Chain A
Amino acid sequence: EAGVAQSPRYKIIEKRQSVAFWCNPISGHATLYWYQQILGQGPKLLIQFQNNGVVDDSQLPKDRFSAERLKGVDSTLKIQPAKLEDSAVYLCASSAWGGMGGYEQYFGPGTRLTVT
């Protein structure tokens, strides 16, 4: 089975520029997650989708970050404008169903963002 796909793998931008990341989850997985992993820290959940609805976006900086999951399949995460502190690896994950909490998440390779 194909894994979670993410692109691009690397991105370097200047502060105040915008950037977008794309994620394609494992086929049939209803739940999709975006995480931010700053160097030396554990992943922090930014947003969780169940199909195309948002379950949790409490830690998403909504003044600059946005995410959508049209048609309940692939998803994009956008940052506009970027700040230096946004430099991190952005991870996408999917799971069969988040409703019971016991379903494992499958992670993509991540996008490493550097903001200069």
Chain B
Amino acid sequence: AQSVTQLDSHVSVSEGTPVLLRCNYSSSYSPSLFWYVQHPNKGLQLLLKYTSAATLVKGINGFEAEFKKSETSFHLTKPSAHMSDAAEYFCVVSDRGGGFKTIFGAGTRLFVKA
């Protein structure tokens, strides 16, 4: 069975500094991995996805993530944080076990200080 662990429930950075949101996964198959963002009172939006192509995935708003099979990680990064990046971020895993069940991580709340 697959699982996903977001290692930090809260991350606080200053505007203009790098962002790192950590995600580890477990999967018995070749997984698909996603990062979604949820702004307050807004719907969930896809940031980026990995589906067995390039291991470095670029997404919207300057975010990227690297799939590392040996470390079973899929960390989300951004070189320079903006105030508008403050939101909840979810790491998601999906694999063909159990009919492509989708598992969300518990989420990481990103705070951006001026």
Contact = CB atoms under 8 A, between A and B. Distances in A.
Given A42-B90, A43-B90, A105 B105 contact: no
A107 B44 contact: yes
A88 interface: no
B43 A43 contact: no
Q: How large is the interface on B (under 10, 10 to 19, 20 to 34, 35 or more residues)?
A: 20 to 34
Contacts of A102: 32, 49, 51-52, 94
A55 to B, nearest CB: 5
B34 interface: yes
Given A41-B106, A42-B107, A104 B101 contact: no
Contact of B34 (A58, A100, A104, A109): A104
Contact of B100 (A43, A93, A98, A106): A98
Interface of A: 3, 33, 35, 41-45, 48, 55-56, 58, 91, 93, 98-102, 104-110
